[in-house]
Amino acid sequence: MKHDDSTRGGVGAFKPSRRQFVTGLATGGLALGLGLVRMPASAGVPARRGAVLLTGTEFDLSIGASPVNFTGRTRPAVTVNGTLPAPTLRWREGDTVTVRVANRLRDASSIHWHGILLPSNMDGVPGLSFNGIAPGETFQYRFELKQSGTYWYHSHSMFQEQAGLYGALIVDPREPPPYAFDREHVVLLSDWTDLDPAALFRRMKKMPEHDNYYQRTLVDFVRDARRDGLAETLEDRGMWGRMRMTPTDISDINAHTYTYLLNGTAPAGNWTGLFRPGEKVLLRFINGSAMTYFDVRIPGLKMTVVAADGQYIHPVSVDEFRIAVAETFDVIVEPAGQDAFTIFAQDMGRTGHARGTLAVRDGLEAPVPARDPRPLLTMSDMGHDMGGHGAHKGMEGGCGAAMMEGGCGASMGHGAHGAAEKAPKHPAGEAGNPLVDMQSSATEPRLDDPGIGLRGNGRKVLTYGDMRSLFDDPDGREPGRTVELHLTGHMEKFAWSFDGIPFAGAEPLRLNYGERMRIVLVNDTMMQHPIHLHGVWSDLENADGEFQLRKHTIDMPPGTRRSYRVRADALGRWAYHCHLLYHMEAGMMREVRIEA
Amino acid sequence: MKTSSPSPHRLAVALGLALGLAAPAWAQHEGHAAEPAKVDRSAADHSSMDHSKMDHSSEDHSKMDHSSMDHSSTDHSSMDHSKMDHAGMDHAQHAAPAADGKVDHAAMGHGHASADAAPREPIPPVTPADLAAAFPAIDHHAMQHAPAVNHKVTFNRLEAWDGDHGTGQAWEGIAWIGTDTDRVWLRSEGEREGGHTESADLEVLYGRSVSPWWDVVAGVRHDFKPGDARSWAAFGVQGMAPYRFEVSATAYVGESGQVAANVEAEYTLRITNRLILQPLVEAEFSAKDEPGHGTGSGLNTVEAGLRLRYEVTRRFAPYVGVVHERSFGDTADYRRAEGERSRDTRVVAGVRLWF
């Protein structure tokens, strides 16, 4: 097994673009070629593109500010050892690693090792696991690696992750993996903004729909009325109008703000990973975005998914997968018959894409597919099924599906007809809560649903239902208790929470050391949320409540109810949050406290 | 009367100043749920469990219904039989010596271990070092949060007209500062005609969200014009009605005992995602006849506007529009007596912006 890794960078042909902002600069990224940034001597092998690779058991990382240029404007980024993305760290299962992290910023900083099992005081969450790393200080992380696989690391301080502080983390297994490959590349996807991330947060608070330039218009109305009839179109618009929501709210922030990066390279830069025809190539996909879900495919290649969130799964062959923020998927491809293949990662809202190339040599390109049509959310997507009721009877009157308005609130679920068993009980914190604008009335796990925008697209799309851990439930116990939490929010105010209670006002969720418990999540919002629990695994259950898939981040599409088992074998105070950075900062976070 | 007329510019400055003054009130740090870690040992402490003392002999396994077990779905290929200790199993007595963690029913693929059973992977005992590492002394302010207090200033209308009856300018601005549910609102509206400020007011309101879509507001309103300056107590609601109509309704009680009301509704109709038609209707009522201020009792005025804006950016949108204003009853009479018209239609051009 060769560690060819992402230090290889191809010099992409520069193709001037009408929307340079979206496609970025070919020569963008860290202005290394311009000599603006000098690599520290300890930083390993500098790459023209992609991440620097660092291996061993002792590491010195330096968090600092560096100028970058992805869009034609030079902007400040938060970097590690002067690079964006941060260096790829390559560790070995069973080793004890020491990482000294120096903070050269003017603000406090931190590094969280996403998905790594470690003592709480090494987890890197300021205020829960440690005090953060003050400006000018160095913090020493030291822990033993109890696992292997593909992970990542990022800042857990304010908006530094958005500003560039993220990198790949690979833990090589002690035992050979249950699959063979000849070569590997890290494919780290992320979203870059020229805006100050704090200003972007303030903008979200002022106008959450800022980037939604896809709202339905009078023009659309005329088109739909001709196609579907006036009555039906009016009814459809009325339904959304009564809820005061819009079916084009797929993502909060899209390519109107972001330039999507693949290994720190904008689409025009065309990051290139090399292969020789006939080789099996392991691609370690990591979504290190702040806010962006990607739908990834490599036209012309089947992808065999062999690991999810660093953990082996029964291999499953797909054409495409959706990767939630913070998830990782390891896939094996066998490129042959062409000299170049495009890695195409369009955002879930179909506003932009990240792109790279697998090629036999640098400088090659394959066609870049057009983005898929933009999807519209349906009432069914949001868990507002009408049960067996057929027509839209239940929507009549001023009382929409689960609008939070006096008189027709929680109990007025449409599930009352025929889908009563799906109708969730809503927590008290949601009742009469001005920051909860919606409740789902008919939720299901929907593990076999490829998700909005991916259904029936003619491609085999990975679903959670397709993935099973290669191992049996490592704990084996039935959960001793169940805690149900609802994901809640208010679109217009960009307020997010669990059970209607934002982090600032929430009590910790207390777990007893050693217990096996079950968390049931219900998504009461129209947005999709990747939920990450620090410190312990999230063992996703199948629809029958049995162990299915070990993960660190559970994706929660709107209208879903999903359950997972937690083995509380790590003492301490752990962060539990939506991994959409701005949702977390807006309150969708809890402390989970595992006590002896 | 002209001397006290604030220009739109001065009002905007006042709005900004008031915002700046209001900010510190909210800037106080919100308390964290930061009580020290409680150690609850009441629950099973597995670390100190001595499994050897577990007595399974009293369990009645005879009631186990093995017929319901579905072996067809069991994946025996993944079973690790090497760890099964058959020697110790006494099926005759159904006393499973499972507690050593090597053998339990779950591991055999025969079903699930209950929550009380021992896990396949043993839970490591907790050492004092573990406890210290897990609950270190932490400065709870180490966790920085995104600001809970935010603000927005919108000039919904900054416009001018040049009609048959002279030129004029008008503004309508709204600003808020506060949390998601508690905000200070500033609203200001005014009109100048032929270089004279005809009307100008500023409202300072505290607003609290009472539902996802509605805020109740209460505060004061100061009229610089028309007539002598005067102040009102204001109470109202504002929010988003079904179908996304933005609505506000406010009642005012004046120093003189006058009671007035203002109702406003506005809608955003997208022709495209940048070309936006904004219909707006505003009506004013007074309880008492007040010739000095030019208002009669009952419905005073209704203003209907239709403005077509192009959002060059979200924050900056020039527009053109047509506005029709009509006064009723005594209000109309007073206006006619002043040489004004009781009905007026004008074409306006302006800009909508927020920051």
Question: Is B123 within 8 Å of A569 when comparing Cβ atoms?
Answer: yes
Please report, rounded to a whole number, the percentage of residues in chain A having pLDDT higher than 70. Answer: 85
Chain B residues close to A513, C-beta within 8 Å: 45-47, 123, 126
- Determine the distance in angstroms separating the CA of A319 from the nearest CA of chain B, rounded to an integer: 27
Chain A interface test: which of B29, B75, B138 (most A C-beta within 10 Å): B138
Question: Is B40 within 8 Å of A595 when comparing Cβ atoms?
Answer: yes
3-state SS assignment for residue A179: coil
pLDDT surpassing 60 at residue A559: yes
What's the confidence (pLDDT) of residue B15?
Answer: 43
pLDDT surpassing 80 at residue A181: yes
The mean pLDDT value for B119-137 works out to: 91
- B74 reaches A (C-beta below 8 A): no
Q: Is the dihedral of CA A462, A463, A465, A471 positive or negative?
A: positive
Phi, psi of A331 (to 5 degrees): -130, 150
3-state SS assignment for residue B98: helix
The mean pLDDT value for A392-400 works out to: 33
Contacts by B330-339 with C-beta closer than 8 Å and gap 24+? B330/B289, B330/B291, B330/B295, B330/B296, B330/B297, B330/B298, B331/B286, B331/B294, B331/B295, B331/B296, B331/B300, B331/B301, B332/B296, B333/B296, B334/B291, B334/B294, B334/B295, B334/B296, B335/B294, B338/B294
Question: Is A508 within 8 Å of B142 when comparing Cβ atoms?
Answer: no
B217-264, pLDDT tens digit by residue? 999 999 998 888 999 999 999 999 999 999 999 999 998 889 999 999
The model's confidence at residue B164, banded by pLDDT at 50, 70 and 90, is confident
pLDDT surpassing 60 at residue A183: yes
What's the confidence (pLDDT) of residue B166?
Answer: 82
State how far Cα A467 lies from the chain centre: 17
Question: Is B126 within 8 Å of A210 when comparing Cβ atoms?
Answer: no
Tokens matching residue A580: 């959409």
Beta bridge partners of A272: A357
The mean pLDDT value for B288-310 works out to: 94
A66-125, pLDDT tens digit by residue? 999 999 999 999 999 999 999 999 999 999 999 999 999 999 999 999 999 999 999 999
What's the confidence (pLDDT) of residue B115?
Answer: 64
The model's confidence at residue B278, banded by pLDDT at 50, 70 and 90, is very high
Size of interface A-B (CB pairs under 8 A): 215
The model's confidence at residue A219, banded by pLDDT at 50, 70 and 90, is very high
Tokens matching residue A93: 């299962």
CA dihedral in degrees (A123, A124, A125, A127; nearest 10)?
110
Residues A359, A340: contact at Cβ < 8 Å?
yes
Structure-model confidence comparison of residues B71 and A525, the more confident one: A525
Instruction: Give the mean pLDDT of chain B.
Output: 76
The model's confidence at residue B194, banded by pLDDT at 50, 70 and 90, is confident
Q: Is B227 left (phi over 0), alpha (psi -120 to 50) or beta?
A: left
**Cα–Cα distance, B251 to B285 (Å, whole number):** 9
What's the confidence (pLDDT) of residue A20?
Answer: 53
Burial class (CB in 10 A: 0-12, 13-18, 19+), A455: exposed
The position carrying tokens 């929907």 is: A446
pLDDT surpassing 50 at residue B71: no
Asked whether this complex has an ipTM greater than 0.90, the answer is: no
A308-343, pLDDT tens digit by residue? 999 999 999 999 999 999 999 999 999 999 999 999
The chain B residue lying nearest A200, using CA atoms, is B146
B328-349, pLDDT tens digit by residue? 999 999 989 988 888 989 999 9
- B83 reaches A (C-beta below 8 A): no
What's the confidence (pLDDT) of residue A29?
Answer: 63
The mean pLDDT value for A221-229 works out to: 94
- Which of B190, B188, B195, B189 has its CA nearest to residue B168? B195
The mean pLDDT value for B150-159 works out to: 97
The model's confidence at residue B36, banded by pLDDT at 50, 70 and 90, is very low
The chain A residue lying nearest B111, using CA atoms, is A476
- B73 reaches A (C-beta below 8 A): no
Question: Is A480 within 8 Å of B269 when comparing Cβ atoms?
Answer: no
Chain B residues close to A238, C-beta within 8 Å: 243
What's the confidence (pLDDT) of residue A49?
Answer: 57
**Cα–Cα distance, A566 to A406 (Å, whole number):** 37
Question: Is B47 within 8 Å of A506 when comparing Cβ atoms?
Answer: no
Q: How far is CA A441 from CA A241, A416, A523, A559, B341, in A?
A: 18, 8, 10, 8, 55
**Cα–Cα distance, A195 to A192 (Å, whole number):** 9
* Closest Cβ opposite residue B244 in set A241, A508, A510: A241
What's the confidence (pLDDT) of residue B234?
Answer: 98
Chain A interface test: which of B32, B120, B143, B208 (most A C-beta within 10 Å): B143
What's the confidence (pLDDT) of residue B195?
Answer: 87
- Which of B314, B240, B243, B305 has its CA nearest to residue B273? B314
- Determine the distance in angstroms separating the CA of A504 from the nearest CA of chain B, rounded to an integer: 6
Chain A residues close to B118, C-beta within 8 Å: 477
* Closest Cβ opposite residue B273 in set A108, A214, A476: A214
pLDDT surpassing 80 at residue A452: yes
Structure-model confidence comparison of residues A279 and B3, the more confident one: A279
**Cα–Cα distance, B125 to B45 (Å, whole number):** 9
Residues B277, B271: contact at Cβ < 8 Å?
yes
**Cα–Cα distance, A293 to B329 (Å, whole number):** 60
3-state SS assignment for residue A541: strand
Question: Is B41 within 8 Å of A159 when comparing Cβ atoms?
Answer: no
Alpha helices in A73-196 (DSSP H): none
The mean pLDDT value for B97-112 works out to: 39
The mean pLDDT value for A198-224 works out to: 95
Q: Say if strands A303-308 and A311-318 run parallel, antiparallel, or are unpaired.
A: antiparallel
Query: B 88-107 residues with CB below 8 A of A?
Result: 104, 106-107
Residue type, A16: P
Chain B residues close to A512, C-beta within 8 Å: 40, 43-44
Chain B residues close to A215, C-beta within 8 Å: 270, 273
A152-163, pLDDT tens digit by residue? 999 999 999 999
* Closest Cβ opposite residue A244 in set B115, B240, B354: B240
The contacts of residue A119 (CB under 8 Å, 6+ apart) are A143, A570, A572, B130, B133, B134
* Closest Cβ opposite residue B37 in set A238, A473, A593: A593
Chain B residues close to A481, C-beta within 8 Å: 115
Q: Looking only at Cα atoms, what is the longest distance across chain A? A: 69
Chain B residues close to A437, C-beta within 8 Å: 212-213
The mean pLDDT value for B275-300 works out to: 94
**Cα–Cα distance, A116 to A534 (Å, whole number):** 8
**Cα–Cα distance, A50 to A8 (Å, whole number):** 7
Structure-model confidence comparison of residues B227 and A251, the more confident one: A251
Q: Say if strands A538-541 and A547-551 run parallel, antiparallel, or are unpaired.
A: antiparallel
A403-414, pLDDT tens digit by residue? 443 333 333 333
* Closest Cβ opposite residue A131 in set B41, B138, B314: B138
Question: Is A476 within 8 Å of B104 when comparing Cβ atoms?
Answer: yes
Question: Is A244 within 8 Å of B115 when comparing Cβ atoms?
Answer: no
Question: Is B117 within 8 Å of A476 when comparing Cβ atoms?
Answer: yes
Instruction: Give the mean pLDDT of chain A.
Output: 88
The chain A residue lying nearest B124, using CA atoms, is A569
> Rounded to the nearest 10 degrees, what angle do helices A218-228 and A230-243 cross at?
130
Instruction: Choose the weakest-confidence range: A228-242, A464-478, B113-127, B239-253.
Output: B113-127
What's the confidence (pLDDT) of residue A47?
Answer: 33
The model carries a pTM of 0.83
Chain B residues close to A108, C-beta within 8 Å: 142, 144
Query: B 161-180 residues with CB below 8 A of A?
Result: 180
